[in-house]
Amino acid sequence: MKISVIGSGYVGLVSGACFTDFGHHVICADVDASKIEALNSGKIPIYEPGLEQIVSRNSNNGTLSFTTDVEAAVRETDVVFIAVGTPSRRGDGHADLSYVYAAARTIAKAMKGYTVVVNKSTVPVGTGDEVERIIRETNPNADFSVVSNPEFLREGAAIEDFKRPDRIVVGVEDERAKAAMEEVYRPLFLNQSPLLFVNRRTSELIKYAANGFLAMKITFINEMADLCESVGANVQDVARGIGLDNRIGSKFLNAGPGYGGSCFPKDTLALAKTAQDYDHPVRLIETTIAINDNRKRAMARRVIAACDGDVRGKKIAILGLTFKPNTDDMRDAPSISIIQALQDAGADIHAYDPEGMEEAKKLLGNVTYCDNAYSVAENADALVIVTEWDAFRALDLSRLKASMKSHNLIDLRNIYRKDYIEKAGFQYISVGRP
């Protein structure tokens, strides 16, 4: 099939590249000329393992191309995916749908013949109805269907998730659109990926419900971690104990500094706002948001306590800046709130991240960025592990101890054992463990 993807950011680029691996011909379109220029020269604007190889391979064989001419891309294709950003809107927290609606107007002007317009952006319930209205208003003679097909991609594992999904959710309102989407995802039938067809509004809500539930699960285990510290229990054992129950499962039960990233913060907020608009507030989600926001700065207080209650003028070394490993995404990363709170308390922040420092520089000022985990620790009063990159799991503790001023190691991801670290001569503080 001929497919176009409007928006060449994280979701659009991964989706377009993977579709070409399935044998489809894909045009990725974006109004950002610098991004398209970079892609046409082989430069990938995001860090995602394996993506560069897929883009290079399919660009070279002619099945994947990039353009700033969005209308031309739409005219040449049968299925158009909208994969633009839907950030939280300033002022009220609702999802900002201006980019989605702008894409809908562009599509309406350009489409030729029957076209399936697929919303892959994360959008509140009813957005598909509005996209359909905009297209019909802009081009009354258009022959089209609007479909909801939310993405469920984990940053750092997006290609695997796209090619071997546990489910593909498609919201359709007519049989022609259903047949087209079956053809789009036909290559995945060999993997027996469940293709779940529902109505459009249900599909839109499934995405928010999934992210809301996972955010609650993370927040729940973080609450249990705090309780474990008070009663002398071990949150990792609690997580194993409840995770072995098949009704609960073990995923998303790792205690830490709170969730971040491009999805959970904005999607939980958008879900809460949508529910309020329909006069059915989702109290669990609202509480989850509040707990998570407070938790990030609370982690800074943990660091301050480890430094005898005062970090003014002290060097605090931060290991890991991105919200999770294997990505360069800094959106709503816990490190931002932690560093800002430590800076407010007078700390001198030095930081290292394997992939995220260029993005971090756009968000965090007065931070000294270092070349590796050892240079960041030199003369430090405390070393704080914020992101669980593999590169931090087997550090040379004797080398760290020799270079640090004070031997405080605050492990906010529980990647080390207490006895192992204390045997090396460190004061060790983790999360939810006695």
**Catalytic residue set:** 263
Alpha helix stretches (DSSP H) within 95-170: 98-110, 127-138, 158-163
Among 144, 332, 335, CA closest to 256:
335
The answer to whether residues 106 and 137 touch, using CB atoms and an 8 Å cutoff, is no
Q: How many whole angstroms separate alpha carbon 67 and alpha carbon 5?
A: 10
Longest dimension (CA), the chain: 75
User: In 392-415, which positions are buried (b, 16+ CB within 10 angstroms) versus exposed (e)?
Assistant: beebebeebeebbebbbbbbbbbb
Question: Rounded to the nearest 10 degrees, how much is the dihedral formed by the CA atoms of 46, 47, 48, 50?
Answer: 110
The answer to whether residues 376 and 352 touch, using CB atoms and an 8 Å cutoff, is yes
Among 388, 38, 432, 2, CA closest to 240:
432
Q: Give strand pairing partners of 171.
A: 148, 198
Q: How far is CA 245 from the centre of its chain?
A: 27
Q: How many whole angstroms separate alpha carbon 129 and alpha carbon 151?
A: 19
Q: How far is CA 420 from the centre of its chain?
A: 32
